Amino acid sequence: MLLSGRFTAAVERRLPFPERRRAFRGWRRTRPFWAGLLLVLGGTELLVVPLSPVTVLVSLGLGGLASIGIGLALVVAGLFLWCVPSARHYVSVNALILSALSFAATNLGGFLVGMLLGIAGSAMGFGWTPAERRESGPGPSRTLAVALPFVLLAAVGTPAADRAEAAPRGASGVPAAAVPPTVRTSLFAPRGFAFAGVTQVPTAKGPLKVLVLKMGSASLKDYRMTTRDGGAEMSLGARTLDLSGDVTLYLTKFSGCLEGLLCVTFSPDGLPVPPVIPPFVFMTDVHAEQALVTSDVIGADELRVGVTPPGA
């Protein structure tokens, strides 16, 4: 160790611009620098692939446009980690989503290189903590960074705290079932999908903790909702169900496969929902426990209602 320290000091003395290097080193240690660098490199690789003179690409046309869009977003995410380290959790989660989506939306995630760089940079950025907090050991941020296998960069919307405060007003005065009905759908395609916080809705057995999801509209395919009342099972089904206007879902559980590839489960006390979902994202094999749903307009195709008596 002593020899290594002397060697390093000797090299430092011989390199030019010692003051500038010292200032840069101090700046670098106050932010997730290496995480941002990996995101910039991953985004650049995604940009280079469709613009390179490669004769055959795995994905053409819209795939090339997706490479450019996701690549630019990852580069900007890396710059955000450098310039605004306090927003690292929000930026890292969204960048991780884009990195995972690049496998399906681009040329296999830049032939895996750009996708893996983006995932590694996102995980490092999410788990990074300021120097004064590192002595206390790894915290929940590092644990979540390992557990988050998915992600979007920044999006326009109300701050998360403001949305969480507004959520209870949407459920005010609307009672919910003590046991939330179960909803299944083969395809869930939202528009303007955003996480609006966690709140409580009133039920006959007391308040129920739920996730609040807001969106401008949503289309559901092969929709089926089942619930029990007095032992009898009641079901409501439709070939397609379209929600539009001010759509709000209050859910105790929400699981499905992003882009039909990455399966995740969200709950009020479990894995956090990303603040904003890209508009081109859809989910398949959705299973939810739905306490309430509000919408300006609800349209159904081939609506079916059924009742199964107790013991049948």
Distance CA 243, CA 249 (A): 11
The least confident of 187-191, 222-226, 229-233 is: 229-233
> Given this model, what pLDDT does residue 41 score?
94
Length of the chain: 312
Residue 230 has pLDDT above 70, yes or no: no
Half-sphere exposure of 202 (CA within 13 A, CB side): 8
Residue 254 has pLDDT above 90, yes or no: no
> Given this model, what pLDDT does residue 276 score?
53
Q: What percent of the chain has pLDDT over 90?
A: 13
Residue 75 has pLDDT above 50, yes or no: yes
Question: What three-state secondary structure class fits 272?
Answer: coil
Residue 29 has pLDDT above 60, yes or no: yes
Distance CA 172, CA 97 (A): 33
> Which tops the pLDDT comparison, 273 or 127?
127
Distance CA 223, CA 299 (A): 12
Burial letters for 44-54: b for 16+ Cβ neighbours within 10 Å, e otherwise? bbbbebbeeee
CA-derived radius of gyration, the chain: 24
Kindly give the residue spans of alpha helices, DSSP state H, lying in 84-220: 88-105, 108-111, 113-127, 131-134, 140-147, 160-171
Q: Which residue has the tokens 């109300």?
A: 158
Residue 52 has pLDDT above 80, yes or no: no
> Which tops the pLDDT comparison, 219 or 161?
219
The pLDDT confidence band at residue 159, using thresholds 50, 70 and 90, is: very low
The least confident of 22-26, 71-75, 278-282, 302-306 is: 278-282
Distance CA 175, CA 205 (A): 11
Burial letters for 250-284: b for 16+ Cβ neighbours within 10 Å, e otherwise? bbbbbbbebbeebebebbbeebebbbbbbeebbbb
Nearest to 293 by CA among 189, 204, 191, 176: 176
The pLDDT confidence band at residue 35, using thresholds 50, 70 and 90, is: very high
Across 92-113, average pLDDT: 83
Across 101-107, average pLDDT: 77
Most confident of 137-141, 276-280, 302-306: 302-306
Q: What is the pLDDT of residues 199-217, one digit of tens each?
A: 888 887 788 888 888 888 8
Most confident of 13-27, 132-146, 179-193: 179-193
Nearest to 168 by CA among 215, 208, 217: 208
Q: Where are the domains of the chain?
A: 31-147, 160-308
The least confident of 50-54, 245-249, 255-259, 287-291 is: 50-54
The pLDDT confidence band at residue 279, using thresholds 50, 70 and 90, is: low
* Global pTM exceeds 0.75: no
